[in-house]
């Protein structure tokens, strides 16, 4: 009974942002797992440099994230092309931040790439959700 009330509270209009963020984190976890799997396979399996391996790993994660966020979190309905462009601009900004953090931690601080990956998992979702909420998938409130 208490669980139902909690779920209803989360779904309530005033708590929509919390509900969306929870779903965003679920999608981020899934796309992050894909990112990680590809990153580790490229580094450990193909002996690719961690910074270079971040490119295809990040792009695969972004593709999965976009598709799922459109359908499940933000319910993209209008001007899909504009939303795609905004999503990928945001992703490119996140990608640049991804490379900077990976490069700095691995090459300047001489620390393991998995530490960089952990930092990215905490920083990028918060930034990405905020940008997507207020820009990419922004919908004018109904009067």
pLDDT at 75 over 90: no
Q: What is the pTM of this model?
A: 0.67
Selection from 87, 91, 92 nearest residue 70 by Cα: 87
- % of the chain residues with pLDDT over 70: 86
Q: From the CB of residue 9, how many other CB atoms can be counted at a distance below 10 Å?
A: 12
pLDDT in tens, 18-34: 888 889 999 988 998 99
pLDDT in tens, 96-122: 998 899 899 999 999 998 888 888 878
Q: How far apart are alpha carbons 23 and 21 in whole angstroms?
A: 5
Q: Looking at beta carbons, which pairs linking 112-118 to residues 24 or more positions away fall under 8 Å?
A: 113/39, 113/43, 113/50, 116/50, 117/36, 117/39
Q: What is the overall mean pLDDT for the chain?
A: 85
Range scoring the smallest mean pLDDT among 8-22, 49-63, 123-137: 8-22
């Amino acid at each position: 009974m208490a669980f139902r009330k909690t779920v209803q509270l989360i779904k309530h209009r005033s708590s929509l942002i919390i509900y969306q963020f929870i779903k965003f984190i679920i999608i981020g976890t899934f796309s992050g797992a894909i990112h990680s799997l590809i990153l580790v396979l490229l580094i450990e399996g193909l002996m690719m440099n961690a910074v270079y391996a971040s490119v295809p790993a990040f792009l695969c994660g972004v593709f999965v994230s976009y598709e799922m966020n459109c359908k499940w979190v933000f319910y993209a309905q209008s001007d899909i092309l504009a939303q795609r462009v905004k999503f990928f601009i945001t992703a490119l900004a996140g990608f640049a931040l991804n490379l900077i953090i990976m490069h700095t931690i691995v090459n300047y601080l001489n620390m393991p790439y998995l530490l960089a990956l952990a930092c990215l998992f905490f920083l990028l979702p918060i930034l990405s959700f905020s940008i997507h909420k207020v820009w990419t998938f922004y919908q004018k409130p109904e009067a």
